[in-house]
Structure 1
Amino acid sequence: MSEVSTRAWTRPHDWAEVVIGVVAALSPLWLSTSNAAMWTMVVLGALVAIDGLVSLGAPGAVYGEGIQIVLGVLLFIAPWVIGYTEMNGASWTSWVAGALTIIASVAAMPVAQAAHRTAGQH
């Protein structure tokens, strides 16, 4: 395991989560949405970005990746649950952002676990 992945503010997985969250949160600015779809994307996107920032600042916090997986699933299923599947831009943004959040979080899980173990050794 490289030292870079255990230091704060250096993990690319977490930076990806921040970017994905910001894009999802801001996407209602350029997409056609309903009020419910807009707030769903803004809130879930902001939570993904915030949790990504927390994971960047505390690379050994394994729980953050678990939270990201849950947020990614919520973002992915939101078009069906909230009812905006007919809004192609909004629904596809939710599906893609949700899937990418899940993928980034699953990929980051072993790195976070290694950082957690390394932090416990000091």
Structure 2
Amino acid sequence: MTEFWKNITEDWQDDLIAVLGAALFVSPWVLGYAGQMAAFGNALIVGAIMVVLALAALIDFREWEEWIGIVLGVWLIASPWILGFTGLVTAMWTAVILGVLTLVLAGWSLYSHGGMSTA
């Protein structure tokens, strides 16, 4: 259990990704787009995956978890156009902003663990 608490302080990016995932998960109800199925489903599924992956990374870091986080960030940025909810401004900006933050944090975590070479 001490390794878990050590990871929480060292891998703060994963802590924030878990918070972002939880925020994404509840955003349809909080921001009022729960009735819009594409945006709603996207927020629930991607938010849940983000939380699970971030918690898994805190328990036992694996490089692939961060790569999936990067993919999820890219997906969130593109999802309003792919799923067709650009007209729902709140849902669109929620996905884009949380996507950018997730992409940056997952990349930062991967880089700080030596998973991305600068050479």
TM-score (norm 1): 0.82
Distance 2:102 2:48 in 1: 12
1:1-122 map, 5 Å: 7-10=6-9, 11-33=11-33, 34-59=36-61, 61-113=62-114
Instruction: Report the more deviating stretch, 92-101 or 26-35.
Output: 26-35
Per the TM alignment, residue 45 of structure 1 is displaced from its structure 2 partner at its CA by 1.1
Per the TM alignment, residue 110 of structure 1 is displaced from its structure 2 partner at its CA by 2.4
Unaligned runs of 5+ residues in structure 2 are none
RMSD, aligned CA: 1.6
Q: Deviations for 1:9-42, whole angstroms, at most 9, x for unmatched residues?
A: 3211000100111111110012232112101111
Instruction: Check the 8 A contact 1:76/1:95 in 2, yes or no.
Output: yes
Q: Larger relative CO (CA 8 A, sep 6+): 1 or 2?
A: 1
Aligned length: 108
Q: Percentage identity across aligned positions?
A: 29
Unaligned runs of 5+ residues in structure 1 are 115-122
Instruction: Check the 8 A contact 1:17/1:48 in 2, yes or no.
Output: yes
TM-score (norm 2): 0.84
Which of structure 1's runs of 4+ aligned residues deviate more than 6 A? none
Instruction: Check the 8 A contact 1:72/1:102 in 2, yes or no.
Output: yes
